Amino acid sequence: MKMNYKFILHIIIVFLITVATTTAGMAQGNNTPPPPDTAKGAPAVKMQARAYQDHIKLRWAPNNPIVWQYANQYGYQVEKYLVYQNRQILAKPKKLNLTGKSVFKPLPLKDWEKVVNEVGKQKENYALVAAQALHGKAFGLTAAGKNVSNLKKIINQVREQDMRFAYALMASDHCLPVAKASGLYYKDSNTKKAEKYLYKVYVKLPAAINYKIDTAYVYTGIDDYEPLPKPVEFSATFGNRTVMLTWNRWYYERFYVAYWVERSEDGGSTYKPITSAPIGNVLQEGVGIRSRFLYRIDSLPANNTTYHYRVRGVNSFGEMGPPSEAITGQGWENNLPLPKLAKPVLQEATGTVQLTWTFPKEQEKDIVGFVVEKARRASGVPYKLLHPNQVTLPSSTRSFTDAKVDGVNYYRVGIVSKKPFKGEEKSVSRIGGKNAVTSNLDKAAYVRYTFPFLVQVPDSIPPQAPTMVEGVIDSTGKVTLRWKPSVDDDVQGYRVYRANYAGEQFSQVTKALISDTVFIDSVGLKTLTTKVLYKVQAVDEYINPSELSKAGVLRRPDIVPPVSPVFTQVISADSGVYLGWQVSTSLDVARHALYRQERGKNNEWVLIKNILVGEDTVSKYTDMPPKTGVDYQYTLIAVDSSNLESSPAKPVTGRRIDNGLRGKIKKLKAKKTGDTPAVIALSWELEMSEGLTDETDEVPESFSIYRGEELGKIRLYATVKGDASTWKDTSLKRGTSYKYRVQANFKRGAVSKFSELVIIKY
């Protein structure tokens, strides 16, 4: 691939302009895009992994230009170790061979033309810039000419190398094929469920080179797959054919390297990006303090038309996450200009902020005055009126001093008019907030605001410590730690510390500040200490650390299952199956689970009883199977406090013995009828037993009616069909008392229980 330097230089300039416009957003006076936020510290390779349902992707990068140069020359060595398998950590990790190559270098110059063609028009600039950074003779900064000093040449050479490094990595972050061609990517498809791997990446330096570069490690498996999150705190401020969009870049900084902002003009049916390249997730304030938010100003095609906006993150694997919640709004057209707010000036000596703005003097007569407001965030939180005793500042005012300043402050200035802005029919804002007017201001007033400006005040006061540190450790040793964030608004991130017992010195386990209130760690399980202690420290925007939080105590899971229980007795009876057993001898057993299965059928075992340790019946139980005369198998499992299960006990067999009884006769009634002569009418109901082996047993063949006189014995007197439920006795003597019973008769000699005795006088 022959490099056309002038053409590539043109591409680089276009690329830098694109990056500037898509990363600067609202840079507040600093239009030069900063380089990628490379990690500080010792020379090292950094790596991250993304687990999918059937493979794992790896991305790595050097953290300074020297490491980058060495790696480009000697390559990155990638190694893979099997650490966890079959629900346990291996005693010795097993080194696995990678599919394909294991040493990764950037492609030679001749192969980059294929990469350019592969990525297509939309991303070819990334491939061209990476190729020029890796193989180009110049990158646009090298000083030349007779009048350039040697020192200047050296400075420019260093700057050029920094630029090559920075933009090569940025191009790789924005285009996965470029990362692959740069030797910074590997896809591992040789993965299995219930396995976890340790990946190791290091620069393959010759022993003769005395330059120490830290190795990168990552531990993961395909069971760690989780979907990408939605961007949060997405908001919009609409103006005259403009909208300022903001969203939280900090919360999911570890997921996304860039964002696409999309707009819909058809009610949200279809969305299109508003930029030709994604907006990089970099600092935008032009200061050393990290900002929570990214900003983007978009020009609206027309006012008074509803537009939908949403934002989507892109990770370093080229994967686009789900869209944020959509925001709708309209541009508004006013017949009054907004104030032009200058950059606020912080007076550190007095701790005040001076705000100044301009507004046409000839239009002062058209407004009621100005309002000045402040909030902790640019959007999504209420703004506070800074002059509550004076609802509006006079229309001649052009400055305001905020005497109470601390931490993070967003300022905005609004104009107040008694006449609606063009295109409005009602009030749309209120002073100090949104969607109404204050009670102190004429309800016919209208307010429009400038875009907010950020001012951050240096401080030496540490934030309050986080609280409610808690979490869980799973059976692989993975720790999921959570805590309640510090109440201070200027917290930049958190550090996490760990100890194995109460008297041990806590050691920091986070290598850098984390912005989330969730931290994933890993600990060993084969240890004598059953608990792990964690403390969390908050760090504000000025690197003031809080006190360590109170320790959160996490219990290591038990990875050894309990000993199996043993059946000692099984007795079959008509009242059920009596079971006795010797409980598990493990000390941490919480319960025993008893299961049943019909013998000879390949159906699943059914849980019939959970018996908690400590109950009186902990070693015995009487089961009432659903059917009589059928063999059932029983097994027993011990479950410990970590929910680990023992092997099933050796099954035993029992049955519910058939005693020949089928249900009972209930509600037997006897009464004299109005017939001439009168007769005694009997009626009854049959209630069947549950668990009959043969469904035909539910249908009686006949009913036997037993009769006796008051002082005589009761004997079989009559038999009626099995579908009968009434019978009339006509052979009677006046003045005699009769007693009756009824019994149902089934096939194979089975009978029901006798009814209750009824007595009636004729």
- The pLDDT > 70 percentage for the chain reads 85
538 vs 149, higher pLDDT:
538
Q: How far is the C-alpha of 256 from the C-alpha of 711, rounded, in Å?
A: 97
> Amino acid letter at 563?
V
pLDDT, position 405: 84
pLDDT single digits (tens) 582-607: 998 887 788 999 999 998 887 889 99
The class (CATH top level) of 235-254+261-330 is mainly beta
Q: What is the mean pLDDT of residues 415-433?
A: 55
pLDDT in tens, 628-682: 888 999 999 999 887 888 999 999 999 888 777 888 888 899 998 877 788 999 9
CA 542 – CA 287 distance, rounded (Å)? 12
State yes or no: pLDDT of 432 exceeds 60: no
The pair of three-digit structure tokens given for residue 290, joined into one six-digit string: 């990290």
pLDDT at 328: 93
Q: What is the pLDDT of residue 289?
A: 43
Which phi and psi angles does 452 have, rounded to 5°?
-75, 150
Q: What is the pLDDT of residues 367-395, one digit of tens each?
A: 889 999 998 777 767 899 999 888 889 99
Distance CA 497, CA 627 (A): 60
Contacts of 37 (CB under 8 A, 6+ apart): 282, 283
What are the backbone angles phi and psi of residue 173, rounded to the nearest 5°?
Answer: -65, -30
Residues contacting 151, CB < 8 A, separation 6+? none
Query: CATH: 2.60.40.420, 2.60.40.10, 3.30.540.10, 2.10.25.10. Which one for 340-456?
Result: 2.60.40.10
Confidence of residue 7 (pLDDT cuts 50, 70, 90): very low
Q: Residue 150: phi, psi to the nearest 5?
A: -60, -40
DSSP 8-state assignment for residue 125: H
Distances from the Cα of 695 to the Cα of 142, 212, 700, 721, angstroms: 96, 82, 11, 19
Determine whether domain 467-555 maps to CATH 2.60.40.10.
yes
**Which pLDDT belongs to residue 5?**
46
Report d(CA 503, CA 481) in Å as an integer.
Answer: 21
Q: What does pTM read for this prediction?
A: 0.53
Distance of alpha carbon 51 from alpha carbon 151, whole angstroms: 48
Give mean pLDDT, residues 160-167. 86
Give pLDDT tens digits for 724-749.
999 999 888 888 899 999 999 988 77
**Beta carbons of 563 and 586 less than 8 angstroms apart:** yes
Per-residue confidence (pLDDT) for residue 423, from 0 to 100: 46
Q: Provide the pLDDT for residue 101.
A: 86
| CA dist., res. 261 & res. 195, Å (int) | 38
- The CATH label, of 2.60.40.10, 3.30.70.3270, 3.30.470.20, 3.30.930.10, for the domain at 661-761 is 2.60.40.10
Measuring CA to CA, which residue among 238, 235, 276, 236 is closest to residue 258?
A: 276
- DSSP-based three-state secondary structure for 24: helix
- d(C-alpha 293, C-alpha 246), whole Å: 6
Report residue 538's pLDDT band, with 50, 70 and 90 as the boundaries.
Answer: very high
DSSP state, 342?
P
Mean pLDDT of 474-491: 88
Q: What would be the CATH architecture of the domain defined by 566-655?
A: Sandwich (2.60)
Whole-angstrom distance, CA of residue 481 vs CA of residue 552? 9
3-state SS record for 284-337: CCCCCCCCCEEEEEEECCCCCCEEEEEEEEECCCCCECCCCCCEEEECCCCCCC
Confidence of residue 420 (pLDDT cuts 50, 70, 90): low
Residue 285 pLDDT:
43
pLDDT beyond 70 at 616: no
Q: How confident is the model at residue 427 (pLDDT cuts 50, 70, 90)?
A: very low
Residues of the chain with CATH 2.60.40.10: 235-254+261-330, 340-456, 467-555, 566-655, 661-761
Tokens 């099997």 sit on residue: 82
H helices, E strands: number in the chain: 6, 49
d(CA 363, CA 370): 13
C-alpha to C-alpha distances, 289 to 452, 466, 487, 735, nearest whole angstrom: 17, 21, 19, 111
Predicted confidence band of residue 435 (pLDDT cuts 50, 70, 90): very low
- pLDDT of 180 > 60? The answer is yes
- For the cut 70, the answer to whether the pLDDT of residue 558 exceeds it is yes
The gap between the terminal CA atoms of the chain, to the nearest Å, is 121
Q: Can you list the positions of beta strands (E) in 441-488?
A: 446-449, 453-456, 467-473, 478-484
pLDDT for 690: 65
Average of per-residue pLDDT across 239-267: 89
Edge-to-edge strand order for the sheet containing 606-612?
A: 606-612, 589-598, 631-640, 652-655
Q: Which pLDDT does position 80 carry in this prediction?
A: 95
Please give the mean pLDDT across all residues of the chain: 83
Among 2-16, 32-46, 377-391, the range of highest mean pLDDT: 377-391
Using left for φ > 0, alpha for ψ between -120 and 50, and beta otherwise, residue 600 falls in left
Q: How far is CA 267 from CA 305, 308, 309, 587, in A?
A: 10, 7, 10, 64
Pick the residue with more confidence: 421 or 616?
Answer: 421
pLDDT band at 529 (very low <50, low <70, confident <90, very high): confident
Specify the range with the lowest mean pLDDT, choosing from 48-57, 184-193, 726-735: 726-735
Q: Pull the structure tokens for residue 714.
A: 């009761």
